Structure 1
Amino acid sequence: TQDELLKVAREYKRRGLPIDVIVVDFFHWPKQGEWKFDPVYWPDPDGMVMELKDMGIELMVSIWPTVDKTSEHYEEMLEKGYLVRTERGHRVGLDFQGATIHLDVTNPKGREYIWNKAKKHYYDKGIRIFWLDEAEPEYSVYDFDNYRYYLGSNLRIGNLYPREYAKAFYEGMKSEGQNNIVNLVRCAWAGSQKYGALVWSGDIASSFESMRNQLMAGLNMGIAGIPWWTTDIGGFHGGNPDDEKFRGLFIRWFQWGTFCPVMRLHGDREPRQPQYGTSGGASCRSGADNEVWSYGEQVYDICVKYMNIREKLRDYTRELMKEAHEIGTPVMRTMFYQFPEDERCWELSDEYMYGDRYLVAPVLYDAAKEREVYLPKGCTWKEIESGSVYQGGTTIKVTLTLESMPVFERL
């Protein structure tokens, strides 16, 4: 709710913690496909946006392309051909919190339609960042041959959907005179980077195995030409902030997130909160608190340490983003990308370079006491926690503590 969101934002400021963006997540609307705040739970969005801006915080709002058959725009969109069609059966795409079908973003008029609604209910209130969720899009039944878009069958052009989804908001925001457009999106395709796509890796499991997979995903995304990338720190599905085992995972993920292109905390924590209200999206209950102070004092102190490290990297990170924008260089770089002449670097998959200066070796296993780190040849390396200096071309064993993650600066 509006009260809950502002309470969190004020607490970050009271504690003196850095925060750039806070998010209004899904089901803040009366019904899917209405793309506006539900006044029952968000009585004064204009005042909320103004207070956040006064605190130096931008508001990001979740958008879903699903349209409930009982929503206020469904009949109009159906008549104008702005919805995905089915070759057979009932026109239903995702049956979640209502029977819905997706906006057809491959239709230029469909893109214009959703932007006009978003502009009226969000952009004109001062909201300048959007979270374009459900971007694949997600179907209840994946009969790809059954779905037909404006540009053709799903089988033929379906992978274009997330790109055109990002394009809808990029074009709309550009038409309003906005520059430096970045929107969070759950999926991407070749060319999505042209439309300000910041891709996150979706609703992933809260486990070390999942964390290892995310590292691979981020590195592959970068060399595929999409440098803006992030994950849900701690994973999305599950995880109880009071569980010591999960706290260990959360710490390791938070440390790694410090050296990702975008550092972002999000997840559906357990146990779920009681249902608040009965109308709108009330039945889609919120998860447990998931702020840096929700995990106990030890975790909090480690989080603050790494948030401050991230702040010190702000100018450096901006330079990496500028380089990525101008020539496509990944922000997270595989070792072989940065050191192609070092044969050992072609074999590494559990460490990477954050730009050309920092070698990052995430802790990827539960309760790990040490890990090996290969330092590429031809360089001298300084471990940023201890200050120890090493010559390149060697593999070292690093003793691990919960309070730190191995990171080496290239001298």
Structure 2
Amino acid sequence: MMKWSTFLLLLTALFISNSSNAQSYQKTDHGIKAKIKSTAIEIQYYNPSSVRILKSPDGRPFTKESLSVIKKPQKTVFSVKQQGDVVNLRTATLNVALNLKTGDIIYSTVKGELLLKEKQDGVQLAPFNDAGTNTLTVQQLFILDRDEPIYGLGQQQEGKMSQRNVTLNMVQGNLDDYIPFFQSVKGYGVFWDNYSPTVFTDNPEGTSFKSEVGDCVDYYFMYGGNADGVIAHMRELTGQAPMFPLWTYGFWQSKERYKSQDELVDVVKQYRKLGVPLDGIIQDWQYWGSNYLWNAMDFLNPEFPNPQKMVSDVHDMNAHMIISIWNSFGPHTKQYKDLDKIGALMDFKTWPESGSEKWPVRRDYPSGVRVYDPYNPAARDIYWNYLKLMFALGIDGWWMDSSEPDHLDPKPSDFDNKTYLGSFRKVRNAFPLMTVGGVSTHQRAVDSGKRVFILTRSAFAGQQRYGANTWSGDVTSSWNALRSQISAGLNFSLTGIPHWNADIGGFFLSKFKRKLEDPEYRELYVRWLEFGAFTPMMRSHGADAPREIYQFGQKGTKYYDAIEKYINLRYHLLPYIYSASWDVTANQSSMMRALVMDFPKDKNALDINDEFMFGKSLLVSPVTNAMYVKPGAGEKETIQVEDFSTIRSKETYLPAGADWYDFWTAERFSGGNKVSRQTPLDILPLYVKAGSVIPLGPSVQYAEEKKWDNLEIRIYPGANGKFVLYEDENDNYNYERGVYSTITFTWDDTKKTLAISDRNGSFPGMLNERKFNVVIVGMNKGVGENLTGQADKVISYTGKKVAVKF
């Protein structure tokens, strides 16, 4: 990093070289304005660490209202000092230096450490005709350090952790969710506030965003000191993440698709009969009937004769149900007719192409399905006015499929479609933000007793404010796809959107001709489910074959037992997970955490793409290659067979700066080293950071079955530690009014003392008396997913401070 003395030399050089061409600037309430080389430049402070940069042709008026940023510029204390051509703006945390001759900007800390600089003459504002509107194509180039890792940019399926040396054509798709935001290991972030097709490029020439349409260059620079700090600033700008209900963190079962209400209800019955925990079931598409009735938001399929009974049957078994809704409508639906009347339907090829449900597609019978205009508030009202009829049935949430939306065989003219906010080209990438936001805002307005829960296939900056969990699209079932999910989810989370998941097992089974009979697929499914147990939503889903646990055998068989083990582990971890979700809402944290978030100084940890932290204590190292299949005899093709005769292993890097415990054995390791762990089918390498305090809940069939009145509290010695146990009513928005409680556990490693704080806050149904069964890992190992009942000490707790020495 550049030090203060070096930074002053740079400014002096700029002063000497440009002193004969000094320019002027104008101070404003929130920053400064300047006109440089026919370009109007404005720097606006949103807080002492976040600035907005606007660049446009001088004399070209425009109005720019952000779809993502909801915060307004704030009155910020800053100083301004000019030296020749360089004007330096300084707050308590950030220096911004504008060259009044070239228009380039340099960002540094108040200690003089260089963070980022624009490339000289790196701005481009080129005229562009956007469907008859005279606008601009806009670009800004930056210069990064040669070996500086950056992260974010949304979700891609390339398996890369650091996003250096890439070119991304940023147009929302089924598998790729593009968010024009990156953050650096240096502790800063850049959000490019543009929604049109954008190319992000990083190469030896520089790092740039180039958008097809824009009234101006418009980006935000934020300095947070570390990844959590950057995300906190991003959410301050674009919205905070609300709490999800506790039940959403349980296990979810789905498939493409349950073809009747009896089939769906029977799945829940089977889980209850088997004693395997389940909290959610999902109904996929075509409950509405034919493709001409696409997304009618009504049960017109005769196999769903009594939807109210279906929902009630699910609820009676203490499970929840969400249902597939889309962002397009068939020509025979009521919504299509209402939307068409106000000109809120777009004209481009989308899914499904044919009115016939037979495969392959019959294009001579076009479906007539059209995507709606979610940028139009009246269209969003129409959408909800029909959806609320399903909400009245008691459906618990929404699966918003194709929220990018599906755009098949795109043509340039498709982007000329007019939306409420201009051409589709101008606002293309914000489609998921607008459609998800429309549903969330409407539901929240009519019901505060049920938290909004939306499962969606696409996202854009700011979507975290709408109670949505994004899944990674229709990925193909393969080991490479599983491996790519890890970096995809981590980079997505690093944009500030904390809730993400993937189809456990992959959506398409095209590689596996024998489907569930293929032992390699069964192994892949188990490993994917093990990974899924440590994502913000644990959801089994896919096409081509059912995925319910009983499809993989019965209790006592390897695959079944491994699946059941990790579902149960997920439920034992619910107190830890729910508290981590509160940390997201209250403290701008993240649930899936790339290693850079907690170990930025460990260079060996910065580009690892197959392990991550789940919460701030658990290091997860998924198995991402086949270990227990081998070629068998086959007449025409090789058939894989199971081979468990040799136990395989996986190597995991444990970051420096901490000691680590093997979750399963309690063996302790020093950080900064690689360790090899045997990985039989039911073992995912899982490590706990020394100093961690982890609460484990009871064995249950659904999330709210039992009170947390007898939690096991595991202490992992070796460092001081703290954990805040969060509890509330598990649903509704009363927590926003302070209706919740927290209990802080503090471990003093030197004194070997656990202090449990006074309970802070209260809520209806709160436990006034409870027991904490404290296990000091290593003293009494008490490890693995089984609750041992062998506590080192049992603490009776009534809400008053307790300190216990071990």
TM-score (norm 1): 0.91
- Kindly indicate whether residue 662 of structure 2 is the aligned counterpart of residue 383 of structure 1: yes
Specify the alignment match of 2:685 in structure 1.
406
- Whole-Å separation in 2 of the counterparts to 1:294 and 1:144: 46
User: What is the one-letter code of the residue matched to 2:654?
Assistant: L
Do residues 52 (structure 1) and 314 (structure 2) align?
yes
TM-aligned CA deviation for residue 295 of structure 1: 1.5
1:116 is paired with a residue whose SS is helix
Does 1:291 find its partner at 2:578? Answer: no
Deviations 1:223-248 (A, max 9, x none): 11111000000100115112111001
- Specify the alignment match of 1:138 in structure 2: 406
Q: Shift in Å at residue 175 of structure 1?
A: 1.4
Q: 1:204 aligns with which of 472, 475, 500?
A: 475
Structure-2 change in CA distance of 1:366 and 1:377 (3 Å): same
Answering whether residue 609 of structure 2 is matched by residue 349 of structure 1, we say yes
Amino acid at match of 1:358: L
CA distance in 1 between counterparts of 2:298 and 2:524 reads 36
1:117 aligns to what SS in structure 2?
Answer: helix
SS at match of 1:264: strand
Q: Is contact 2:558-2:681 (8 Å) kept? A: no
Contact 1:144 1:154 in 2 (8 A): no
1:392 aligns with 2:652: no
Mapped to 2, the partners of 1:177 and 1:402 lie a distance apart of 44
Q: Does 1:7 align with 2:269?
A: no
Specify the code of the residue in structure 2 equivalent to 1:294: Q
Cα pair distance change 1:225/1:384, threshold 3 Å = same
How much has 1:382 moved relative to structure 2? 1.2
CA–CA separation in structure 1 for the residues paired with 2:385 and 2:269: 31
AA aligned to 2:322 is M
> Which residue in the other structure is 1:168 paired with?
438
The answer for the alignment partner of 2:279 in structure 1 is: 20
Q: Give matches, 1:266-345, under 5 Å.
A: 266-269=541-544, 288-296=545-553, 297-345=557-605
Question: Which residue identity lines up with residue 273 of structure 2 in the other structure?
Answer: R
Deviation string 1:167-213 (CA, Å, 9 cap, x unpaired) is: 11101211112353220000000011111120000000100111111
Give the conservation status (yes or no) of the 8 Å contact 2:349–2:409.
no
1:93 and 1:346 mapped to 2: Cα distance?
Answer: 40
Q: How far apart in 1 are the matches of 2:623 and 2:319?
A: 31
Question: CA offsets, 1:67-126, max 9 Å, x none?
Answer: 112334433321222212x4xxxx654424422111111111111111110111x10011
Aligned residue for 2:285, secondary structure, equals coil
CA distance in 2, matches of 1:126, 1:263: 22
Aligned length, in residue pairs: 387
Q: Look up the SS of the partner of 1:241 in the other structure.
A: helix
For 2:295 and 2:522, locate their aligned partners in 1 and report how far apart those are by CA, in whole Å.
37
| Greater Rg over alpha carbons, structure | 2
Q: Which residue of 262, 266, 290 corresponds with 2:537?
A: 262
CA distance in 1, matches of 2:683, 2:335: 51
TM-score (ref. length: structure 2): 0.47
Determine the structure 1 residue equivalent to 2:219. Answer: none
Once the two structures are aligned, what percentage of the paired residues are identical?
Answer: 31
Indicate the larger mover: 385-394 or 214-223.
385-394
CA distance in 2, matches of 1:73, 1:165: 15
CA–CA separation in structure 2 for the residues paired with 1:75 and 1:116: 14
| Cα distance in 2, alignment partners of residues 355 and 96 from structure 1 | 45
Q: 2:491 — aligned with what?
A: 220
Which one of 153, 158, 166 corresponds to residue 428 of structure 2?
A: 158
Report SS of the residue matched to 1:408.
strand
Number of the residue aligned with 2:303: 41
Partner of 1:250: 525
Amino acid at match of 2:275: G
Say which SS state the counterpart of residue 409 (structure 2) adopts. coil
Shift of 1:410: 1.2
Distance change >3 Å, CA 46–CA 304, structure 1 → 2? same
Identify the range of structure 1 (141-150 vs 110-119) with the bigger mean alpha-carbon deviation: 141-150
- For residue 186 of structure 1, what is the aligned residue in structure 2? 457
Counterpart position of 2:325: 63
RMSD: 1.6
Q: Output the CA distance in 1 between the equivalents of 2:354 and 2:624.
A: 34
Alpha-carbon offset, residue 143 of structure 1: 2.1
Q: Aligned equivalents of 1:101 and 1:207: distance in 2?
A: 33
1:241-294 deviation line (CA, Å, top 9, x unaligned): 12111001001101111111110000003xxxxxxxxxxxxxxxxxx3220111
Shift of 1:218: 0.3
Matches of 1:194 and 1:379, distance apart in 2:
34
CA distance in structure 1 between the partners assigned to 2:387 and 2:406 by the alignment: 21
Q: CA deviation at 1:39?
A: 4.8
The answer on 1:113 being equivalent to 2:373 is: no
Q: Where does residue 79 of structure 1 map in the other structure?
A: 341
Which of 330, 346, 370 is the equivalent residue of 1:101?
Answer: 370
Q: Is contact 1:49–1:127 with CA below 8 Å preserved after alignment?
A: yes
1:341 Cα deviation from its structure 2 partner: 2.1
Structure 1 equivalent of residue 504 of structure 2: 233
State the SS of the aligned residue for 1:125: coil
Other-structure match for 2:391: 123
Indicate if the aligned counterparts of 1:374 and 1:394 stay in contact, CA closer than 8 A: yes
1:144 Cα deviation after fit: 4.9
Q: Distance in 2 between matches of 1:112 and 1:353?
A: 40
Extract unaligned runs of 5+ from structure 1.
Answer: 270-287
Distance in 2 (CA, whole Å) between partners of 1:351 and 1:33 is 39
Superposition deviation, residue 141 in structure 1: 2.1
Give the counterpart letter for 1:13 in structure 2. R
Which amino acid counterpart does residue 102 of structure 1 have in structure 2?
Answer: V
Q: Answer whether contact 2:286 2:301 (CA < 8 A) is retained.
A: no
Distance 1:41 1:169 in 2: 27
How far apart are 1:137 and its partner, in Å?
A: 0.5
2:466 to 176, 182, 195: 195
Q: Please report how far the alpha carbon of residue 156 of structure 1 lies from its aligned counterpart in structure 2 after TM superposition.
A: 1.2
Which of the pair is proportionally richer in helix? 1
Deviations 1:375-403 (A, max 9, x none): 12232211112222212221112222112
> Quick check: 2:595–2:613 contact (8 Å CA) kept in 1?
yes
Do the aligned partners of 1:145 and 1:154 also contact (CA within 8 Å) in 2? no
Distance 1:408 1:348 in 2: 16
Is 1:375–1:395's contact at 8 Å kept on the other side of the alignment?
A: yes
CA distance in 2, matches of 1:75, 1:401: 57
Q: CA deviation at 1:140?
A: 2.2
Structure 1 runs of 4+ aligned residues shifted over 4 Å read: none
Change (3 A) 1:337 1:10: same
**For residues 233 and 163 of structure 1, what CA distance do their matches in structure 2 show?**
25
Q: 1:144 to 1:406 in 2, by over 3 A?
A: farther
SS in 2 for 1:140: coil
State the secondary structure of the residue aligned to 1:130. strand
- Which structure is higher in strand share? 2
